[in-house]
Chain A
Amino acid sequence: MSEILESTEIGRPMVRQDGPAKVRGLAPYAYEQPVQDPLHLHPVQSTIALGCIVSIDTSAAEALPGVVAVLTHENAPRLANTDDAELAVLQGHEVGFRGQFIGAVLAESPEVARQAAAAVVVDYEAEEHDADFRADHPQLTEPNAATADTFDGDVDTALRAAAHTVEATYTTPAEHNNPMEPHTTIALWDERGLTLYDSTQGPHPVRQTIAPVFGLQPDQVHVIAPHIGGGFGSKGLPHANVVLTALAAQRSGGRPVKLALTRQQMFTVAGYRTPTIQQVRLGADDDGRLSAVAMDAVEQTSKIKEFTEESGQPARMMYATPNRQVTQRLARLDIPVPSWMRAPGKCPGMFGPEVAMDEIAEACALDPIELRVRNEPESDPETGKPYSSRRLLDCLAEGAKRFGWDRRNARPGQRVQGRWRVGLGVAASTYPFLRQFSEAKVSYSADGTYAVHIGAADLGTGAWTALTQIAADALGVSAHRIRLEIGDTALPVASVAGGSSGTASWGAAIIAAADEFLAKFGVEPDPGAEVQTAAPRDSAQKEYAMHSFGAQFAEVCVNVDTGEVRVPRMLGVFSAGRIINAGTARSQFIGGMSMGIGMALHEQSVMDARFGSFVNHDFAEYHVPANADIADVDAVWLDEVDPLAGPLGARGIGEIGIVGAAAAVANATYNATGIRVRDLPLTPDKFL
């Protein structure tokens, strides 16, 4: 257990340190980094889902004025390592999914590059592909790298004996992360190696991944990413676009090469959340105590690279029961490679079970909050470890009070306002605590300021601000004496901004460096005094189950005539340990909840299995919530410090806001209408 840092700056809603530069357009995103005389890249993408390229004719493209080179598998430089098939671009003639990069044009302008890419003529030998995701897919397989199946007790026997059961199939569609800033890279080779200006959630993880692909030592790859326009997991690890840009820059005559993916390209090469089919079975006795919990999830992955969403995860740990079964199976298809999207596993995995909890509460004639009270475990059902903190019931109680839960009519379809049916819904939320290895450097300058260096990334989450506050308290000075530098592999190693682990991981490193600095140099150091160190490992995670929890409350209106669903009011109450910045934290929570409303009502990547292609691949056709969809969304948190969650006592907040949100909205639509929709999104046609 670490000593908890005293707070002066921490907790304040300090305004974003990067805000003024951003509103004035002075904060450079990857594509805007000033480079000399760049060339522009545009990819050529496959139009078949499976097969190989017989011939590829680039003559028309090469003949266009302004075209410098057209790269294909026939002439592209060889990569040193092709183990990761997603990253092995232009290394062979095989095609593994529709939209895969099979070429690229280097040109003097992005327009010419795009025109030339369209002029490349490809002759394929297509094979019969399989892009049809379904629960009865004939070749469902166990994941190679995921949590093993859970079989505790005997679920089938318990279900047969249960007074009340719910057995239903719930589905979540494929969803795309769709950060506002597209995936963007500038690559430049020189005698020192490779420089990448990249829109990434982790400069060091990019270096770690890219260096071996090109046969480089990590210190030969310099990644720079001071500002990022969102990622939601899709920039957690580099995708094929980064390799393609670096590869093309080997043929640019030393000129920098720029690539910004189009929105359409982001639907094929930048990751997405797999669709899930969740067979959920719950059994309960007359008192509502769960005698069985089963979650059998089917997901898809790409044949060229395995990714498992782990949507079985929450069912292993949310509620107490003597009989539990959790399995995850994969349909391996000829489709784009899925990847991380905000709260991977937890987010889709809390949809089916949390709607099923609503259903069994009704079967047991219990309020859904009371049902959860009766199934609260004393220790972690998955590991048997004690919790560092589990305050789900406090979140539910606080939320019920604030939201006016007592006004909910347990009978569905009872409240009507004009032509709208009104209902309330609740669901639980959870996200695990994670801390990763990071280092930080603290140095003192003659002007009285402390430089604090760490290679972290700010996706727009507020890392520039929160880390400044942490550094100030760690050094015992006011925030204006901190000069923070992040977003560069020239700075000490930092973990990815993912898994809601950034602030805890980087903050612990900064605190460790500050502690060592103070111990070594005291509060009146000489200019030039400097310390670099890593955060010490923490044993608490071995001994305790450490998760954040939350309660999501939604009020919905469903139009009687048209089936349109609106969410006029939503409240999240979260227990996430200490909150570092009240302003940016609230933005993270309500941002996650807003994305949850999008998951509930709108988001759906439509796969046309005949082609293996997501066909609604732009922002007019793929709907995310717009202003009119987000009304009163509020988030509050329990005032607490988790004494076991490192020296900050903070468990992370980036993802929990989306978890459970869609289930709360779905449960509210049932309360409003009496129609139980188990397939997301909750579009108007489902309520007609």
Chain B
Amino acid sequence: MIPFDYQRADDADSAVATVTGHPQAQFLGGGTNLVDHMKLGVADPELLVDISRLPLDEVTELDDGGLRIGATVRNSDLAAHPLIRRRYPVLAEALLAGASGQLRNMATTGGNLLQRTRCVYFQDVTMACNKREPGSGCAALEGYTRYHAILGASDGCVAVHPSDMAVAMAALDATVVVLGAAGERRIPLAEFHRLPGSEPQRDTVLEHGELITAVDLPASTPRRQAYRKVRDRASYAFALVSVAAVVKVDAAEGEPCITDARIALGGVAHKPWRASRAEETLSGAAPSVESFRRAAEAELEQADPLGDNGFKIPMVRNTMVAVLADLTGVEPEAVA
């Protein structure tokens, strides 16, 4: 670990000013990802500005009926919050599917959004990685790709975003509230993370020095919500794939019909993947295993698997169908 300076921020504005003015400064939240990276040599900030004690640690109701989650609310507190559990159960489920109890006690809301890929080549400084060292190449492309992207990847990077929380927030149409030197801006969560393209070193659209202060959840959200994570062990593992779904079913003239479907996928792309093609397919459809499968297949038509991860296509399809069937009370396909 390389020596670094440490400051505790007094307020958000001065934290932003300090980091903006120092190209090698970074914000420190729970440290569950950044400190590991500093030990491994993946990150070598000269200055850490600790924002974990800023008064951003509350969940408050917004005037429009939505909810504001402060950036330093711990993942464990957020998962246990009564309003989250009641109105946004998909988010509570996603949080509890992530990491371990110990990590959730430390990890913050803002930090969770900014955690970096778990690609083994990214985390090993002896390997080529365009995300860690732009232009050095991508060791993953022809390597061990079990956990890598099937959607939206580039020749420069096939890594996936590891967050569960962010996947649920994408399905909830959340908004990230960001404070920069020029003031506040609001970024829809689905546009907050980037696809790798030719700049895989940029995980998000944040500019250096911009600080996440909150995540806002919208008011009128359908109550049928679920998060399903498929992984290589029963707990404490990153997703092979995950599905967050928020669905509204109306019974027009007695025939049930999907009027609102918001679906996000985890473990498949460089960002939480909002499954808009699946959503379009579902819009106005009668809930059935057949329509769910059509929706999944519409989304997965764009999939481009790598050497080790072709299984993610049927896994996403089956998981999406199972989650939607469960949410809409449709009898799943009988087990032969």
Contacts and interface: CB of A to CB of B under 8 A. Distances in A.
A611 interface: yes
B115 to A, nearest CB: 12
A55 interface: no
Contact of A602 (B120, B124, B233, B336): B233
A264 B126 CA distance: 12
A688 B142 contact: no
A506 to B, nearest CB: 36
B238 interface: yes
A436 interface: no
B315 A688 contact: yes
B294 interface: no
Contact of B120 (A419, A562, A615): A615
B198 interface: no
A628 interface: yes
Contacts of B314: 688
Nearest to A98: B126
A563 B314 CA distance: 10
Interface in A114-132: 114-115, 118
Contact of B118 (A47, A264, A560, A620): A620
A628 B234 contact: yes
Given A115-B2, A610-B143, A628 B322 contact: no
A616 B335 CA distance: 35
Nearest to B1: A111
Interface in A582-637: 601-602, 606, 608, 610-611, 613, 615-618, 620-621, 623, 625-629
Interface string B211-242: 00000000000000000001111111110100
Nearest to A597: B233
B335 A629 contact: no
B311 A685 contact: yes
B232 A602 contact: yes
A413 B236 CA distance: 29
Given A564-B230, A684-B315, A615 B121 contact: yes
B235 A628 contact: yes
Interface string A295-317: 00000000000000000000000
Contact of A629 (B143, B235, B311): B235
B236 A626 contact: yes
Interface string A337-367: 0000000000000000000000000000000
B144 A606 contact: yes
Given A561-B318, A610-B142, A615-B121, A421 B335 contact: yes
A416 interface: yes
Contacts of A563: 315
A561 B144 contact: no
B120 A688 contact: no
Contacts of B231: 564
B315 A685 contact: yes
B126 A47 contact: yes
Given A47-B126, A611-B127, A621-B120, A562 B318 contact: yes
Contacts of A561: 318-319, 321-322, 332
A264 B39 CA distance: 12
A566 interface: yes
Nearest to B123: A618
B45 interface: no
A601 B232 CA distance: 8
Contacts of A623: 232-233, 237
Contacts of B121: 615
B134 interface: no
B176 to A, nearest CB: 26
B126 A629 contact: no
B284 interface: no
A375 interface: no
B239 to A, nearest CB: 11
Nearest to B100: A626
Nearest to B234: A628
A171 to B, nearest CB: 16
A684 B2 contact: no
Contacts, number: 94
A683 interface: yes
B118 A621 contact: yes
B233 A615 contact: no
B143 A562 contact: no
B41 interface: yes
Contact of A684 (B3, B143, B230, B322): B230
B41 to A, nearest CB: 6
B198 to A, nearest CB: 24
Contacts of B230: 562, 564, 684
Nearest to B126: A47
B320 to A, nearest CB: 9
A118 B237 CA distance: 29
Contacts of B126: 47
Contacts of A688: 311, 314-315, 318
A118 B41 contact: yes
Given A421-B335, A602-B233, A608 B2 contact: no
Contacts of B232: 601-602, 623, 683-684
Interface string B319-336: 101100000000010011
Given A608-B143, A610-B142, A623-B232, A115 B1 contact: yes
A65 to B, nearest CB: 9
Given A623-B237, A684-B230, A685-B315, A419 B144 contact: no
Contact of A628 (B233, B311, B315): B233
A260 B175 CA distance: 45
Interface string A259-274: 0000010000000000
Interface string A512-541: 000000000000000000000000000000
B124 to A, nearest CB: 7
A115 B139 CA distance: 24
A611 B137 CA distance: 15
A413 B336 CA distance: 8
Contacts of A111: 1
Contacts of B146: 606
Nearest to A629: B234
Interface string B141-152: 011101000000
B142 A419 contact: no
A114 B120 contact: no
Interface string B1-20: 11100000000000000000
B237 A608 contact: no
Interface in B89-138: 100, 118, 120-121, 123-127
Most interface-central of A264, A613, A620 (chain B CB within 10 A): A620
A615 B124 contact: yes
B235 A626 contact: yes
Interface string A58-83: 00000000000000000000000000
A611 B118 CA distance: 19
Given A47-B126, A561-B319, A562-B319, A684 B240 contact: yes
Nearest to B321: A561
A602 B146 CA distance: 13
Interface in A399-425: 413, 416, 419, 421
B234 A566 contact: yes
A198 B316 CA distance: 48
> What 9 A-B pairs are tightest by C-beta distance, nearest first?
A685-B311, A628-B234, A628-B235, A561-B318, A561-B322, A615-B120, A562-B230, A47-B126, A416-B335
6 contacts: A114-B39, A413-B336, A561-B332, A610-B143, A623-B232, A628-B235
Interface of B: 1-3, 39, 41, 100, 118, 120-121, 123-127, 139, 142-144, 146, 230-238, 240, 311, 314-315, 318-319, 321-322, 332, 335-336
Given A114-B1, A617-B120, 8 more contacts: A413-B336, A560-B335, A562-B315, A608-B143, A620-B118, A623-B233, A627-B235, A685-B315
Interface of A: 47, 111, 114-115, 118, 264, 413, 416, 419, 421, 560-564, 566, 601-602, 606, 608, 610-611, 613, 615-618, 620-621, 623, 625-629, 683-685, 688
